Structure 1
């Protein structure tokens, strides 16, 4: 299976993007210049949800 090793724009660690995944397709199409690992992506998403809920309560 093909993959690319990409450096996370948040934590600067290498992670693999495997063929067939949405991230792989985005990387190949270069639609997004910023790539984050799953861990950083989840953390940012959860922080955004918490921030949204705290401001709209």
Structure 2
């Protein structure tokens, strides 16, 4: 399977982008882009959802 190893901008650890995924396609288009791993992506998304409901009252 083809993949790229990319550095996560949040936790600074290497992770793999496998062929066929959306992030893989984005990396091929823009190799200088900022990418984060699945764990960090999930944490960022959950924090955004919590903050949305906290300030939407």
TM-score under structure 1 normalisation? Answer: 0.94
Q: Alignment length, in residue pairs?
A: 57
Report the aligned-residue RMSD: 1.4
How far apart, in 2, do the equivalents of 1:42 and 1:15 lie? 15
Unaligned runs of 5+ in 2: none
| Moved segments of 4+, more than 6 Å | none
The alpha-carbon deviation at position 33 of structure 1 amounts to: 1.3
Unaligned runs of 5+ in 1: none
TM-score under structure 2 normalisation? Answer: 0.94
The alpha-carbon deviation at position 16 of structure 1 amounts to: 0.3
Residue 55 (structure 1) aligns with: 55
